[in-house]
A and B are shown apart, each in its own frame.
Chain A
């Protein structure tokens, strides 16, 4: 018990001192997760809106279950496929992306994408089905209609973004597989926690864990604030 307490104190010390190794790990984590999230949003939000607004979803009833399956896909399986694609013998092997942050970004984008599409779709579908016609009747172009629907679904969209962020920042298996947890190159919060715990560096592992928790909390706090604001409006 005392050991744990000391480790916790040390952990706070490390965070307050802004330990350079710690800083590098947090920096890379935010970069990889941030880029992965932005890519997933850029690809996923238009797809989700398109599916939500189209009356007949293409390949009727097949696309949506596929997306929902993707939302529950084990990340480590995604990691495995990305690994196979990027490995020397894989179709994208020539790019030499394996064990680089690029590989991790690819994996995280793929993990986040079904979440963003699925939750965007749900958010768009929760809008009153009679609204789009009324918006067009007031003089909206197609583009303005899509934009208005996005604005109407804004709470659901924020939820999608926060959920995707939470799922990829806390993900270990895929980034470990395709990134390799190389110090100073592909080591992120989650993989570092695994390593430092194994090495017995409990203080550092705890510090990393606290930061991870803090980031996840921050994302949810923002989400909650927006929801409360939206509900009272």
Chain B
């Protein structure tokens, strides 16, 4: 495996004096798909917010591509990472304008070919002029994926990206994620409740419980020969909270 793009050492995050994330050590490798699974409230979304530089860790060190992440971090560095949130919110503009938004922020123009390509890929061609905030939940989720990927980030963070989708759309989203990873070597951190999805997409899988990293290993091993009893129980779907 290549180099680490993220390195976390003793990273803690506190809210109102309560520690919700406590990671001794974690590396995310350049170009990998890393799945993070764990029960509700484990701190998965919190971890993604840290990886997206949306909040600073309470303590510990988080480096991105060798540079310490901080609120004053260069905007060009920050723009190398985008995220699809658990509950995507659209701008009150057309679907087209939502796709274009990342480019507008970067002072660039989205080419007509690229726009058409993404609309085609996500089966949204017929909806391009529609108000994005009036789309269905599943359509919004697809737009959210497109608007995060269209700017070609080096890292894509996905927080439950298929929670609202029917099986056909789940397959479509997974196909796109896989393609981006294979063609553009986009590093992907995927948070999911769905262990089967982790198994389908990720090279490595990590289990997070109560803010602590219980196990992180090759996906195959994670599911077939987990090291800890907790992972085994989680994989069997009988995790006791």
A residues neighboring B (CB under 8 Å): 128, 130-131, 133-141, 144, 148, 151-152, 230, 233
Contacts and interface: CB of A to CB of B under 8 A. Distances in A.
Interface stretch (B2-10, B28-36, B99-107): B99-107
Contact of B147 (A138, A140, A148, A230): A138
A139 B102 contact: yes
Given A138-B147, A139-B106, A141-B75, A233 B131 contact: yes
Interface string B44-59: 0000010010100000
B118 to A, nearest CB: 15
Interface in B61-106: 75, 78-79, 81-83, 85, 87-89, 91-94, 101-102, 105-106
Contact of B75 (A130, A139, A151): A139
Contacts of A133: 49, 54, 85
A152 B85 contact: no
Interface string B22-43: 0000000000000000000000
22 contacts: A133-B49, A133-B54, A133-B85, A134-B83, A136-B54, A137-B52, A137-B82, A137-B83, A138-B82, A138-B101, A138-B102, A138-B147, A138-B151, A139-B78, A139-B105, A139-B151, A141-B75, A141-B105, A144-B105, A151-B91, A152-B92, A233-B93
A128 B105 CA distance: 20
A129 to B, nearest CB: 9
Contacts of B94: 233
Contacts of A139: 75, 78-79, 82, 102, 105-106, 151
Contacts of B93: 233
Size band of the B side of the interface?
Answer: 20 to 34
A76 B107 CA distance: 48
A226 to B, nearest CB: 13
Contacts of A140: 105
Contacts of A134: 83, 85, 88-89
Contacts of B54: 133, 136-137
